[in-house]
Structure 1
C-alpha cells in the first residue's frame, strides 16, 4: 500500500474516500474490512458491506475469504437490494406480506402490467416497459400511488395503483419495492431499526457516488448510531444521473455526518502520465467535485491521439486500420475497446469490422442488425420490397400494436393457405370477402401506398415515410428513455440507406453483412457505450464521436443544463481513464443523420484537454481528397509533419503570417470549401459563412499558431 491507501485503510469513524480512477479503491475497502476484524476485534457479522452489483459482491467476498481465512457466505456482504431482501424476510408481516413472499422478475412484471393496461383500455397507447419505467422512477423518489394522480397521465397513475394492489394480492414485491419497503419497515418500527443499528457496528459502502435518494435514506437510518461509516467512491465517475444517482449525496457527506473526514486517493496504477494529465485537466472544468489530480510513478507513454476525419465512414475505416496495425504489432484484440456515447454509433464500426474480418463483440447490447427494433423495421422494408415475404409480414403486422394478435394472424394463415397465396395477399382477399379489423385494412392500405411510393422516393426517404406513417416512431417515443435509444438505432438504420439506389440493393447489402460471422471462440475487439465501460480497463481505447450535440449529447444539455454538461464531462473522464497505454479520440467534420448530412464541430471536451498531452491529426481524406494536415498542439507553438510543412508552412516564421483574430465581414479562403465571410468571433470560436457550403464554426485554439492558409484549411472544425 502507498501512504494514502494505508491512511485510508486505518481510518476510523465516519470517513469518505474520494478515490480517482485506477487508484485501488475497492481494494482499500476490502482491506479496511479485514483490518476491523484483525486489528480491532470486530466480528464479521457486525460489519455490513454494501456493493452495487452481484459481481462486485462476489469479488469482495472472495477477497475477504482469502484475507480472513474463513467462509463469509452467511455474513452481511451484498447489494442494496440483496441486503434489503434479507432484512424483509425476517419481518414480512411488518410490511403487509406473508412469509415466503416472492420477487417478480422483469418478465413477470411486464406480463402483469400488460394485463392491467388491457383492463384499463390503454394497451395500444402505452407499452408495459414504458409504464414500468415510470413506476420505477416514482418508487425511487418515494412517490406513492395516491400522490401521482394529480400531476401525471391518469391512465399511468391508475395502472400504478392497480399494480401495487395486484402485488399485495399475489404476496409479491418487485425489485424497487425492496428498498422502499425496507424504508417503511424502519420508519414504522423503531424497535426493528434499533435491532439492526445495534448489530452493524461498522458499515462499508462501495461506489458511493452512484447511490440514489432512497438508498441514501436507507443508509442514514442504519448509520446514524454506528461506530464507523466507511464510504468509497469517485464523484468524477458519477455517470448514472438518468437512473436516479445524485452526486450531491457524496459532496455533502461532511454536512450530513458532522466530524467526518474526506481522504483522497490520487495515485493511479493503470494509465500513463499523458492519459492521466488529459483526464485530470478535463474533469477540472467541473464544479461539483472535491478536486483530485491523478498521478502515476510511470514516466513514459504515448500522448492522447486526437483524430479529425471527414465523416463516420472515414472514422470507422481509421479505427479499423489502427486495430489491424496494432494486431500486426502484437496487440491482443481482447485488449482493445471502442467506447461510444450512444449504441447507435456501433453500426458503422460493425459494418467495417465485418468487411475487414476484425472479430468483435458488444457488451451491454447485441449486434446492430440483430436488435429487435432493427429487425422490426427491416421487416417493413422487406415486405414493401417483396409482397411474398411471409416472415416479414408476420413480424410487423402487429408492430406497433394494432390489435392484430395471434388469432388474427392464424385466420390470415388459414385463408392464405386455402387460396395458395402469400399472407399479405391472403389478408387482402380476406378483407374483401369478410368483415375484418379496420386496423388490418389500414395496415394493408399503408403497405400498398409505400410500395407505390418506392418508385418515386429514394430508399432513405421512403424509410422516413414508413417510420412516420406506420406509427412505429410514435410507439418508440412512448417508451421513455429506452424507447428513445431504440428510435436512435432505427434513425441510424434509415440514414445508412442514403447511398443506395433501391431497396433491393440495400437489402442485399444487409444480407451480405449478416452472412459474415465472427467465430464466438476467437479473441475479439470490445464495443460498448461509455456507460457500460465503468470499472473496466484496456490497453488501447478508441473514443469516437467527440462532437458537439453528440458528446456532450444535446438531449442532456436541453433537459439538465449545466448539471447535464457536468455529467457528460464525467462520462468523458471515465472514457479516457479506461486506457492503460493508448487513448485515441476521434471526431467527424460531417455526420450523417436521418435528416441528412450535417456539419459537425469538435466537442468542447477536446478543447479542455491540454495541448502538452495530445497529438492532433486533422484529415480531409475522402477517397479523392488526399490533402492531410497534422498539427501537434503545444504551448510553444505548432509542429507539423514534413509533408504538411512542404505544402502549407511558411518558412519565413514572421509573426505577420500568423492569424490570431478575425473581424466581422473579413473574407477568408478555405482549401476545400472555398471563400467565406467571417460572421463573428466569440472567445475561442469563429463563425464563418462559406459561399458554397453554408455556416461553420472554427475553434481559434487550432488557428492561433498556424499560418493563415493552414488556418483556413482547418476552418471546417
Structure 2
C-alpha cells in the first residue's frame, strides 16, 4: 500500500516535509527536536505504522517508551484509533518505569525470586510518612510536606543522576544520613520505590547478558519526551537499543524536570556522544497564533543551553499577549474571574501558576460564580497542613483560654520562651476553670521579661476573639509573633498567605472553616472530572502536553518566578542551568495557548511591594515599553 496516500486520503493527515523525513529516516541514533504544537505524537505513531505497514518491521520489533503515563496512554490510544484496523498484533507502548518493572517481574519468575513491594502508587503519601519519621529521628524536627517533598526529590535526583548522596548539595545538612536510613528501612521491610525500579533494572541489564540480549532484540526503540529522561534512564535505553535503532523525540526548550534528575544535556550533546547521530527538527507550530509563536521564539532563543531551531506558524497573527498589573492577590483573583467570565462555555481556558497553592484562592470564587473547573492535584497536603491547624488553634484558645490541650499545641509558636516545665505545672493544677495565661502570671510574677510576653499574648488573644478572620490573621502574624515561627519552616508562609486569602470576606472563623470544607470538597470532585470540560487550574509543570484557547499566567513575581535561588545562582556563580530551566517553564506555559495569553503580576504580596517577573519583559519586548527599573 501507499502509506502516505492512505494517511492523506483515509485519515486526513497531511504531513509536512520535516514530518515525512522523520517517518522515513534510518540510522542507529536519531533525535527529533519537536517544537510545541508541531504534531510530534502524530508523527511518532505514524512512524510506528509506517515501519510496520511498509514491511520494514514487525509490531514486536518496536518498543515505544515515554517519560509519563499520560504520554504513553495518549500514544497508544492515538495509534490504535488511526491504525488499529490495519495492524492487529500488539505494539508495545509503555512508560520507562512500567517497562523496567515488567523486566524485574520477568527476572523474579525466571530465577524464582520475590519482587519487593512497591512503596509508591496505590498508597498515596506512604513514602512521605516514612521520610517524616526518619527526618524526625535524625534531627528531632517536624518537617512540612513541602520540605519532605524536597528531600524525596533529592533522593530521586541522586539515583537518577547516578551520583553519591554526599555529592548532592541539599539545603538539609543531614541529607546523606537521611538517604542512608531510608535505604536501610526499605531493605529491612522488603520495599522498593520508583527510583529503585530503574536502579535494579539497570543493574540486571548490565550484569545478566542473556536477559539483556533478550530485551535488546528489538530492531527499533522509540523514546518520547526524551528531554525529561534522566541519566540512568538514558543508560537503560542505550542497553535496550544497542542492537537496533534508537529514535528519540523531545524538545530541549521544554526540559523542566531537572529537580527530578531530567538530563537534557544528553540530547544537547548527542553529537558528542554519537558523532553519526542525525538531528531532525519539527519547527512548524500548528497550535498558536503568529504573535504567540514569534514572541515565544524570541523569548526562548535567549537561552544558551538548547538545540538551535526557529519555530514558525502558518496561523493568523492574532492578538498580542497582554500584561496586566494588579494591586494585590485579591485583585488578581477578581481579574482572573473577569477574564474567564462565561467564555468557558465557548472556549477552553487554563490558569497556570508556578506554586501549586496559587490556584486555591481562585477555587472559592469559581464556586461562587458557578464556574466548573478542573484541578489535576487534590491538594490534600494543604488541608492537613500544620499551619491551618495552628490558625484554628489560636482562635480556639482565644475563645477557651483554659484549654490546656490546645495551649500545648501552640505555646512554643508565639515568640515567648516558655519551657516545657510550664506545661507540667499547668497540668498539675486544676485548670478547668482557670485562664492559662493568668495562671502563668502567677508562675512568672518575678520575671518582668516573661510578664511582658504574657501581657502581649493576653492582649493579642483578646483582639483575636473580637476580630473578623482577615484581621485575626494580622494579629496572629504580628502580635503573636507567629510570623517569626513560620519563617523558620519552609513553605509555611505560603500556606498562611493562601489561607488568609481564603478568609477574605468571611465574618467568623466557623464561616472560614465551612469555606475551607467547601473548597476541599469541590477540589476533590474536580479532581475526578475530565480536563476537557472545564476551566483548568494547573501548575506550569502540570500543563505540559496540553493546549487551550486562552491561557492566564498568574503570580508572576520576581523572586518567585524566576525563583530567588535561580537568580542568586546565575548572579553569583554564573550558573544559569536553574535559571534557564525556569525560563523553559515559562515558555511551556505561554505555548499552551492557541489564541490568547494574559500575564498577571500583583504589585503587592502580603502587603509588601514586589517587582513583576523579569520574564514578562523578556517575553513582551519589543511589543511594550517598560519602566527603567525593570530587569
Q: Place the TM-score, normalised by the shorter chain, in its bin.
A: 0.7 to 0.9
Instruction: Evaluate the alpha carbon distance shift between residue 311 and residue 46 of structure 1 in structure 2; reply closer, same or farther with a 3 A threshold.
Output: same
Instruction: Evaluate the alpha carbon distance shift between residue 544 and residue 219 of structure 1 in structure 2; reply closer, same or farther with a 3 A threshold.
Output: same
Given that residues 154 and 259 in structure 2 are in contact (C-alpha distance below 8 angstroms), is that contact kept between their aligned partners in structure 1?
no
Deviation, 1:44, is: 2.1
Partner residue, 1:168: 187
Given that residues 104 and 115 in structure 2 are in contact (C-alpha distance below 8 angstroms), is that contact kept between their aligned partners in structure 1?
no
Q: Of residues 220, 236, 240 in structure 1, which corresponds to 2:257?
A: 240
TM-score (normalised: structure 1): 0.68
Q: Of residues 197, 201, 204 in structure 2, which corresponds to 1:182?
A: 201
Question: Is structure 2 residue 587 aligned with structure 1 residue 573?
Answer: yes
Question: Is structure 2 residue 69 aligned with structure 1 residue 54?
Answer: yes
Partner residue, 1:79: 95
Question: Is structure 2 residue 560 aligned with structure 1 residue 550?
Answer: yes
Cα distance in structure 1, aligned partners of 2:355 and 2:168:
34
Where does the alignment leave 5 or more consecutive residues of structure 1 unmatched? 401-414, 433-444, 478-483, 617-632, 634-683, 687-696, 700-717
Instruction: Evaluate the alpha carbon distance shift between residue 357 and residue 230 of structure 1 in structure 2; reply closer, same or farther with a 3 A threshold.
Output: same
Partner residue, 1:597: 608
Partner residue, 1:213: 231
**Equivalent residue of 1:532, what SS?**
coil
Instruction: Evaluate the alpha carbon distance shift between residue 115 and residue 359 of structure 1 in structure 2; reply closer, same or farther with a 3 A threshold.
Output: closer
Partner residue, 1:10: 24
Cα distance in structure 2, aligned partners of 1:53 and 1:268:
22
Partner residue, 2:509: 507
Question: Is structure 2 residue 596 aligned with structure 1 residue 582?
Answer: yes
Where does the alignment leave 5 or more consecutive residues of structure 2 unmatched? 1-14, 414-426, 443-451, 465-470
Cα distance in structure 2, aligned partners of 1:230 and 1:191:
24
Deviation, 1:341, is: 2.1
**Equivalent residue of 2:324, what SS?**
strand
Instruction: Evaluate the alpha carbon distance shift between residue 315 and residue 367 of structure 1 in structure 2; reply closer, same or farther with a 3 A threshold.
Output: farther
Instruction: Evaluate the alpha carbon distance shift between residue 609 and residue 72 of structure 1 in structure 2; reply closer, same or farther with a 3 A threshold.
Output: farther
Given that residues 132 and 143 in structure 2 are in contact (C-alpha distance below 8 angstroms), is that contact kept between their aligned partners in structure 1?
no
Instruction: Evaluate the alpha carbon distance shift between residue 343 and residue 447 of structure 1 in structure 2; reply closer, same or farther with a 3 A threshold.
Output: farther
Question: Is structure 2 residue 217 aligned with structure 1 residue 202?
Answer: no
**Equivalent residue of 2:359, what SS?**
helix
Given that residues 85 and 178 in structure 1 are in contact (C-alpha distance below 8 angstroms), is that contact kept between their aligned partners in structure 2?
yes
Partner residue, 2:7: none
Given that residues 397 and 403 in structure 2 are in contact (C-alpha distance below 8 angstroms), is that contact kept between their aligned partners in structure 1?
no
Question: Is structure 2 residue 274 aligned with structure 1 residue 257?
Answer: yes
**Equivalent residue of 1:586, what SS?**
strand
Q: Of residues 329, 332, 353 in structure 2, which corresponds to 1:340?
A: 353
Deviation, 1:259, is: 0.9
**Equivalent residue of 2:542, what SS?**
helix
Q: Which has the larger radius of gyration?
A: 1
User: What pairs with 1:389-408 in structure 2 (closer than 5 Å)?
Assistant: 393=406
Instruction: Evaluate the alpha carbon distance shift between residue 534 and residue 174 of structure 1 in structure 2; reply closer, same or farther with a 3 A threshold.
Output: same
Instruction: Evaluate the alpha carbon distance shift between residue 361 and residue 389 of structure 1 in structure 2; reply closer, same or farther with a 3 A threshold.
Output: farther
**Hey, which of these two has a bigger chunk of strand by percent?**
1
User: What pairs with 1:26-45 in structure 2 (closer than 5 Å)?
Assistant: 26-45=41-60
TM-score (normalised: structure 2): 0.77
Deviation, 1:541, is: 1.1
Deviation, 1:534, is: 0.7
Question: Is structure 2 residue 147 aligned with structure 1 residue 136?
Answer: no
Given that residues 138 and 144 in structure 1 are in contact (C-alpha distance below 8 angstroms), is that contact kept between their aligned partners in structure 2?
yes
Q: Greater relative contact order (Cα 8 A, min sep 6): structure 1 or 2?
A: 2
Given that residues 546 and 587 in structure 1 are in contact (C-alpha distance below 8 angstroms), is that contact kept between their aligned partners in structure 2?
yes
Count of equivalent residues: 568
1:59-82: CA deviation from partner (whole Å, max 9, x where unpaired):
222233341545666x54211111
Deviation, 1:27, is: 1.5
Question: Is structure 2 residue 576 aligned with structure 1 residue 538?
Answer: no
Cα distance in structure 2, aligned partners of 1:356 and 1:388:
39
Instruction: Evaluate the alpha carbon distance shift between residue 375 and residue 275 of structure 1 in structure 2; reply closer, same or farther with a 3 A threshold.
Output: same
Deviation, 1:393, is: 4.2
1:655-678: CA deviation from partner (whole Å, max 9, x where unpaired):
xxxxxxxxxxxxxxxxxxxxxxxx
Deviation, 1:31, is: 1.2
1:254-312: CA deviation from partner (whole Å, max 9, x where unpaired):
22122111111111121111111111111111111222222222225222222233333
Instruction: Evaluate the alpha carbon distance shift between residue 265 and residue 357 of structure 1 in structure 2; reply closer, same or farther with a 3 A threshold.
Output: same
Q: Of residues 90, 93, 116 in structure 2, which corresponds to 1:101?
A: 116
Deviation, 1:537, is: 1.0
